[in-house]
Amino acid sequence: MSFCRRFSAVLPGIAALALAGAAHAVEPAAPVLPTYTAAYQPQTKDERGIWMEADEDERVLRDSVLLMRDEGLNAYVRQVLCREVGEDRCRSVRLYIVEVPQFNASMAPNGTMRVWTGLLLRVQNEAELASVLGHEFAHFELRHSLAGIKARRDAASLAAWIGVLSAGAANIGTGGAGNGSTLQLAVLGNYFKFSREQETAADLLGLQYMAKSPYDPAAASQIWQSIMAEADARSVARGLKPGREYKAAFFGTHPPSPERAAYLKAEADKLGKRGELRAQEYREAIRPFLPRLLAAQIRSNDFGGSEYLLQTLSATEGWTGDLLFARGELFRQRGNPRDLVTAADLFRDAIAKGYANPEAHRELGLSLMRGGQEADGKAALREYLKLKPDANDGNVIKMLVGS
Amino acid sequence: MMKNAFAAVCAVSLLSAGAASANSLVAPGAHSGVAKSSIATTSTGEWNKLSRTDGPGVEVWTRDGDSLNKVSFFGGIGGGLPIYRERNKKEAPLPKVTANMLLPDIPVLLESTYRSQYQVNKFSLESQDIVTIEGKQAIRFTYSFVRSDDEVERKGEAIGSIVKGKLFMVTYEAPAIYFFDKDLQDFRKMAETLKF
Ligand SMILES: [Zn+2]
């Protein structure tokens, strides 16, 4: 509660919100942002400790093989953050894109922001990306990690969490003696369990950034709606009850909840501002990386969640070759007889739409052969060999073709 | 970075040495019934068979600890089954073997399993070729991957085949720095004498 006292002056209504949830009316969000202290330096012994740790983590992170180093992509994501929080605040951030297919972003107290590629795959437009990055920046500005240092979870919790989201990493260390979890937190980002009050405070300060930014504040609620819908689709496909993932707080640091989506929407409405979504700009910027992000998602053995994501992505710009190909892969990997038929249709669609990647012919051929359509399958595989004469699997495919 | 990664692996290997007492020695020579299956091979030099089992159809051999070098035998995993024991069947199921799998589907199954079971976010399939085991075709492939627990770049070489609707596979994996090359020739000799 000391937290609420400290910040209620800056963010009217937080205390009420945090205590009572969205059911109660709250004061309109303040139109002005709190004054931002640039180049903040740690003040206490505890704070200096977590900064030193964060600096050490950043050195490891900079060398990580999981970093997406593309300059254009990094500059673009940074630009979205800067538009959201303003140039002043943005200057204190060093942003890193880490190749992990789950939905997450985090910010360390020394100004290191980590954006997982799973987030980039899931947001539909710049405004949604901005709202998540803004929320993380708000935790940073409010220095929540210091308050949360005692509640910080260990690698085992993080593993359990991402394990649930993708698949069984709960006991990730298999280095012999079943020695628990040794996830590289330096790379993945430390895992703070923020209190509900802190979450609400970060949400509301995030909305204030949005109010000042060119972006549409409605996006803040929208992204949580899609994350919940995806979680439901995953559960249903696995024969589980929808709602279990987020109700059971499996989401770790940032549990989505219907309440959260609701109060974000209510607060955004109060701002009375309609901004830009910039969906088309977002699609263009992500397009070169989309096949890679999709491939990682498709191979995460999450049929329901992947199918939901593909349907959502196609709603923005229709079924592009990239999306059709990825969906074909999704069905081919599940591999039921009917899935193989669907997969073949999808690869054919992709090819008909001018999808130029020779792999489409390979995957079409393999789907057909596996489904028992030998002649058509071989024809597609021959086409693949023709289009990619130096394929690294040339001998394997030639064997299947029988030449 | 290299140094750090190396230290990390070595730290892990020390841990595994603690449990080594329960493991059993694999003497050089001919072995049959590997992974409680029809797999047979002839090894050179000594290996340790891990007492830990990662699944009912899996047997693991190592020299310095399985984070440093690891030969895994998958002995006839049937259709509808995952290659490893699922740690969380409900929330985190693993992909399953299907009886009509084609040879190029085998590396995909391995990648997809690793992404789930070991939080592998980087996996690249480097080469694929056809070899013959007792007159039956098998796929031989090489790959590299990074697990999120230690961020060490590992290389792998594997041979797999579908025999009567069941998956038979042998993989050799070790850190790319030093360890992979150290035992590669011994693995290849085993691979040459492999029977599924
Ligand atoms: Zn948060």
Q: Which residues contact B107 (CB under 8 A, 6 or more apart)?
A: B125, B128, B139, B141, B143, B158, B160
Is the CB of B95 less than 8 angstroms away from the CB of A169? Answer: no
Whether residue A227 sits in one domain with residue A368: no
- Residue A314 inside a domain? The answer is no
Of B1, B66, B93, which has the smallest distance from its Cβ to A63's Cβ? Answer: B1
Please tell me if residue A63 touches chain B, with a CB cutoff of 8 Å.
Answer: yes
Q: Which of A29-43, A368-382, B77-91, B151-165 has the lowest mean pLDDT?
A: A29-43
- Residue A279 inside a domain? The answer is no
Altogether, the residues listed in chain A come to a count of 403
Q: Strand A112-116 vs strand A94-98: parallel, antiparallel, or unpaired?
A: parallel
Nearest CA in chain A to B82: A301
What residues are neighbours of ligand 1 (ion), with CB under 5 Å?
A 199, 202, 254
- Residue B90 inside a domain? The answer is yes
Please tell me if residue B79 touches chain A, with a CB cutoff of 8 Å.
Answer: no
Residue A166's pLDDT is: 41
pLDDT band, residue B11 (cuts 50/70/90): very low
Please tell me if residue A20 touches chain B, with a CB cutoff of 8 Å.
Answer: no
CA of A234 to the centre of ligand 1 (A): 23
Distance CA A54, CA A189 (A): 9
Of A178, A184, A399, which has the smallest distance from its Cβ to B130's Cβ? Answer: A399
Of A63, A173, A335, which has the smallest distance from its Cβ to B149's Cβ? Answer: A173
Please tell me if residue B140 touches chain A, with a CB cutoff of 8 Å.
Answer: no
Which residue shows structure tokens 């590299």? Answer: B144
pLDDT band, residue B25 (cuts 50/70/90): very high
- Residue B9 inside a domain? The answer is no
Query: Which runs of E-coded beta strand occur in A91-150?
Result: 94-98, 105-107, 112-116
CATH number of the domain enclosing B137: 3.40.1000.10
Q: Could you tell me which of B54, B96, B57 has the C-alpha nearest to residue B79? A: B96
State what percent of residues in chain B have pLDDT above 90: 73
Q: Are the C-beta atoms of residues A292 and A76 closer than 8 Å to each other? A: no
Which residue shows structure tokens 């993932």? Answer: A245
Is the CB of A99 less than 8 angstroms away from the CB of B129? Answer: no
Residue A154's pLDDT is: 57
Query: Phi first, then psi: what are they for B166, rounded to 5°?
Result: -120, 150
Q: In the numeric block, which tokens belong to residue A378?
A: 């071989």
**How is A50-95 classified by DSSP, letter by letter?**
HHHHHHHHHHHHHT-TTB---HHHHHHHHHHHHHHH-HHHHTT-EE
- Residue A220 inside a domain? The answer is yes
Of B18, B87, B108, which has the smallest distance from its Cβ to A170's Cβ? Answer: B87
Domain count of the fold of chain A: 2
Q: What residues are paired with B62 via a beta bridge? A: B48
Contacts 24+ apart (CB under 8 A), A78-82: A80/A126, A80/A129, A80/A130, A80/A133, A81/A113, A81/A130, A81/A133, A81/A134, A81/A137
CA of A149 to the centre of ligand 1 (A): 14
Please tell me if residue A60 touches chain B, with a CB cutoff of 8 Å.
Answer: yes
The pLDDT tens digits for A6-38 are 233 333 333 334 333 333 444 445 556 777 877
Of A168, A178, A400, which has the smallest distance from its Cβ to B102's Cβ? Answer: A400
Q: Which of A271, A289, A306 is the endpoint of a domain?
A: A271
- Residue B93 inside a domain? The answer is yes
CATH number of the domain enclosing A335: 1.25.40.10
pLDDT band, residue B173 (cuts 50/70/90): very high
Please tell me if residue B3 touches chain A, with a CB cutoff of 8 Å.
Answer: no
**How is A170-197 classified by DSSP, letter by letter?**
TT---SSS-------HHHH-------HH
Write out the residue range of the structural domain in which residue B89 sits: 23-192
- Residue B39 inside a domain? The answer is yes
Torsion over CA: A389, A395, A401, A403 (sign): positive
Q: Are the C-beta atoms of residues B65 and B16 closer than 8 Å to each other? A: yes
Quote the crossing angle between the two packed helices A258-271 and A196-212, to the nearest 10°.
30
Is the CB of A177 less than 8 angstroms away from the CB of B18? Answer: yes
Is the CB of A300 less than 8 angstroms away from the CB of B115? Answer: yes
Chain B from 87 to 106: CB within 8 A of any A CB: 87-88, 90-95, 98, 100-105
Torsion over CA: B105, B111, B116, B121 (sign): negative
Of A172, A395, A396, which has the smallest distance from its Cβ to B118's Cβ? Answer: A172
Distance from CA of A296 to the nearest CA of B (A): 7
Residue A382's pLDDT is: 98
Please tell me if residue B66 touches chain A, with a CB cutoff of 8 Å.
Answer: yes
Whether residue A344 sits in one domain with residue A241: no
pLDDT over 70 at A174, yes or no? no
Domain count of the fold of chain B: 1
Whether residue A215 sits in one domain with residue A117: yes
Which residue shows structure tokens 């500059």? Answer: A75
- Residue A301 inside a domain? The answer is no
Is the CB of B16 less than 8 angstroms away from the CB of A177? Answer: yes
Mean pLDDT (whole number) for A145-153: 60
Task: Give the helix/strand (H/E) hosting B18.
Answer: helix B2-18
Task: Give the helix/strand (H/E) hosting B16.
Answer: helix B2-18
On chain A, the residues whose CB falls within 8 A of the CB of B51 are none
Strand order in B47-49's β-sheet? B24-26, B47-49, B58-62, B70-77, B166-175, B153-163, B136-147, B120-133
Q: What residues are paired with B156 via a beta bridge? A: B143, B173
Q: Which of A209, A238, A271 is the endpoint of a domain?
A: A271
Distance from CA of B57 to the nearest CA of A (A): 17
Whether residue A359 sits in one domain with residue A243: no
Whether residue A370 sits in one domain with residue A237: no
Q: Which residues contact A26 (CB under 8 A, 6 or more apart)?
A: A12, A13, A16, A17, A266, A267
Tally: H helices and E strands in chain B: 3, 10
Q: Which of A362, A393, A397, A399 to mutate to test the interface with B (most CBs of B within 10 A)?
A: A393
Of A168, A174, A369, which has the smallest distance from its Cβ to B102's Cβ? Answer: A369
CA of A133 to the centre of ligand 1 (A): 10
Please tell me if residue B48 touches chain A, with a CB cutoff of 8 Å.
Answer: no
Write out the residue range of the structural domain in which residue A354 sits: 319-401
Residue A367's pLDDT is: 98
Q: Could you tell me which of B18, B34, B64 has the C-alpha nearest to residue B180? A: B64
- Residue A295 inside a domain? The answer is no
Query: Phi first, then psi: what are they for A390, rounded to 5°?
Result: -105, 25
**How is B55-108 classified by DSSP, letter by letter?**
STTEEEEESS-TTT-EEEEEEEEPTT--SS--S-TTTSPPP---TT--TTHHHH
Q: In the numeric block, which tokens belong to residue A7?
A: 């910040």
On chain A, the residues whose CB falls within 8 A of the CB of B88 are 163-164, 167-168, 170
Residue B70 identity? K
* Number of CB pairs, chain A paired with chain B, less than 8 A apart: 177
Is the CB of A172 less than 8 angstroms away from the CB of B17? Answer: no
**How is A18-37 classified by DSSP, letter by letter?**
HHHGGGS--PPPPSSPPPP-
CA of A106 to the centre of ligand 1 (A): 8
Residue A150's pLDDT is: 54
The pLDDT tens digits for A227-252 are 899 989 999 999 988 877 665 444 55
SS3 (DSSP) at B13: helix
Task: Give the helix/strand (H/E) hosting B41.
Answer: strand B39-43
Of B87, B128, B153, which has the smallest distance from its Cβ to A168's Cβ? Answer: B87
Which residue shows structure tokens 């240092």? Answer: A149
pLDDT over 90 at A3, yes or no? no
Q: Which of A153-157, A354-358, B91-95 has the lowest mean pLDDT?
A: A153-157
Distance CA A184, CA A161 (A): 14
pTM above threshold 0.80: yes
The pLDDT tens digits for A81-104 are 999 999 999 999 999 999 999 888
Q: Which of A52-66, A339-353, A364-378 has the lowest mean pLDDT?
A: A52-66
Chain A from 343 to 402: CB within 8 A of any B CB: 366, 369-370, 392-393, 395-397, 399-400
- Residue A67 inside a domain? The answer is yes
Q: What residues are paired with A7 via a beta bridge? A: none
Nearest CA in chain B to A371: B100
Residue A333 identity? Q
- Residue A135 inside a domain? The answer is yes
- Residue A293 inside a domain? The answer is no
Please tell me if residue B153 touches chain A, with a CB cutoff of 8 Å.
Answer: yes
On chain B, the residues whose CB falls within 8 A of the CB of A62 are none
Please tell me if residue A67 touches chain B, with a CB cutoff of 8 Å.
Answer: no
